[in-house]
Amino acid sequence: MMTEISLNILDVAENSTKAGATLVEIGVMVSHLSDTLTVTIKDNGCGMDEEQVRKVTDPFYTTRTTRKVGLGVPFFKQAAEATGGSFEITSKKGVGTYVKAVFVLSSIDRMPLGDICLTMQNLIIYHPETDFLYTYAFDSKSFVLDTREFREILGEDIPFNSPEIAAYIMDYLKENTLEVDGGAAI
Amino acid sequence: MKSLEELKALREKMRAQVNMRENVGGEHTRVVVGMATCGIASGARPVLNRLSELVQEKDLTDKISVTQTGCIGLCQYEPIVEVLEPGKEKVTYIKMNPEKAEEVVEQHLIRGNVLGKYTLASAGI
């Protein structure tokens, strides 16, 4: 299983990019008021039909041909539900998929959020053809990273995975995260 | 807070460099890290990042690109790193960690010596 919530996000969002999504919206919302850590992943990829959606939380279902198990979504679901939280996945063929996992923030069974900045940077630099809209909210504060804004500034000739830009993206994520959560251990 | 103005400044600085890079020809070596559920759960992310950092630090980005892939069906051997050099047979390293990844960069990618002890062939399958 995964050791961090952020690794679950990385894994599930990888599926969004494989589904051909041009835009993946990821939200991480920490609320002490409702004692929740909510993760949302929404994509405009190829989506799934009703039967696939029903089966996707079954660890013995996968569309891959390289192995017979599909643990990504079941891991994520189990991690959220183990805290007393909830998990939902909805999808429509040709429209996209939406995943929402709610973790009880104070639960002793909640795994740490982990290195969410690294997760986001990984997704962005290794999927240059996909746009990401990332929102991080910590109680009343929040920030947004939109790769479409980056793309507009950089144009076509400077790739996200060039060392300077990759470093900028990491700094952008880290500095804004720190500003929003004050370096809280989540 | 980090601003987009900084990105604009970076763009201007990089435009000249990009033109230079485009002139670098030759074939690329590809280093591919499995990043499906099996890879991620076994620790592929630190391996990917270490490889990527080292390739940048050692100024190898013109010759070597680090990318990721899905599951190749050998989940029990993850994290898996494949090295694809033009004109050579693919080398598959298994059960990698950041320290082993450093060795692969030093010995294989820089000096051309395949680290037999970490390859799939060494696992006897």
Q: Domains, chain B, ranges and CATH?
A: 26-123 (3.40.30.10)
Residue A153 and residue B4: Cβ atoms within 8 Å? yes
Nearest CB to A1: which of B41, B52, B70? B41
A178 in contact with chain B, both atoms CB, cutoff 8 A: no
pLDDT of residue A107: 97
Taking Cα atoms as reference points, which of A138, A35, A139 lies closest to residue A84?
A35
Q: What is the pLDDT of residues B1-44, one digit of tens each?
A: 678 888 988 888 888 765 555 545 567 899 999 999 999 999 99
Cβ contacts of B70 on chain A, cutoff 8 Å: 14, 18, 64, 66
Enumerate residues 18 to 57 of chain A having a beta carbon within 8 A of any beta carbon in chain B: 18
Q: Identify the residue whose tokens are 């079941």.
A: A74
pLDDT of residue A149: 95
Q: Output the tens digit of pLDDT for each of chain A's 186 residues.
A: 889 999 999 999 999 999 999 999 999 999 999 999 999 999 999 999 998 888 888 888 888 777 777 788 999 999 999 999 999 999 999 999 999 999 999 999 999 999 999 999 999 999 999 999 999 999 999 999 999 999 999 988 888 988 889 999 999 999 999 999 999 999
Sign of the alpha-carbon torsion through A116, A17, A23, B65: positive
DSSP designation for B119: B
DSSP designation for A85: -
A146 in contact with chain B, both atoms CB, cutoff 8 A: no
Q: What is the pLDDT of residues B48-62, one digit of tens each?
A: 999 999 999 998 988
- Residue A84 near residue A101 (C-beta atoms within 8 A): no
Nearest CB to A153: which of B11, B38, B41? B11
CA distances from B92 to A147, B83, B99 (A): 33, 6, 16
Spatial separation of the C-alpha atoms in residues B56 and A152, rounded to whole Å:
25
pLDDT of residue B3: 83
A156 in contact with chain B, both atoms CB, cutoff 8 A: no
A106 in contact with chain B, both atoms CB, cutoff 8 A: no
A98 in contact with chain B, both atoms CB, cutoff 8 A: no
Spatial separation of the C-alpha atoms in residues B122 and B125, rounded to whole Å:
8
CA distances from A72 to A64, A128, B81, B92, B102 (A): 12, 23, 20, 24, 28
pLDDT of residue B23: 44
Q: Which residues of B29-64 are buried (b: 16+ CB within 10 A; e: fewer)?
A: bbbbbbbbbbbbbbbbbbbbbbbbbbbbeeebbeeb
Q: What is the CATH number of domain A5-180?
A: 3.30.565.10
Q: Identify the residue whose tokens are 């994509």.
A: A43
- Residue A132 near residue A33 (C-beta atoms within 8 A): no
Spatial separation of the C-alpha atoms in residues B34 and B70, rounded to whole Å:
5
pLDDT of residue A121: 96
Residue B7 and residue A150: Cβ atoms within 8 Å? yes
Cβ contacts of B61 on chain A, cutoff 8 Å: 162-163
B18 in contact with chain A, both atoms CB, cutoff 8 A: yes
Q: Identify the residue whose tokens are 């294989």.
A: B108
Chain centroid to Cα A75, Å, comes to 14
Spatial separation of the C-alpha atoms in residues A65 and B40, rounded to whole Å:
19
Residue B14 and residue A7: Cβ atoms within 8 Å? no
Distance from CA of A138 to the nearest CA of B (A): 16
- The alpha helices in B60-115, defined as continuous H runs, are 98-103
Percent of chain B with pLDDT over 90: 67
Q: Collapsing DSSP states into helix, strand and coil, what is residue A102?
A: strand
User: Tell me, what's the ipTM?
Assistant: 0.85
Chain A residue with CA closest to B41: the answer is: A2
**Ramachandran class of A76: left when φ > 0, alpha when ψ lies in -120 to 50, beta otherwise:** alpha
Spatial separation of the C-alpha atoms in residues A114 and A108, rounded to whole Å:
15
The helix, strand and coil proportions of chain B, stated in percent and rounded to the nearest 5, come to 50, 15, 35
Q: Tally C-beta pairs within 8 A across A and B.
A: 85
Domain residue extents for chain A: 5-180
Q: What is the dihedral of CA A131, A136, A142, A147, to 10 degrees?
A: -10
Strands A131-138 vs A23-31: parallel, antiparallel or unpaired: parallel
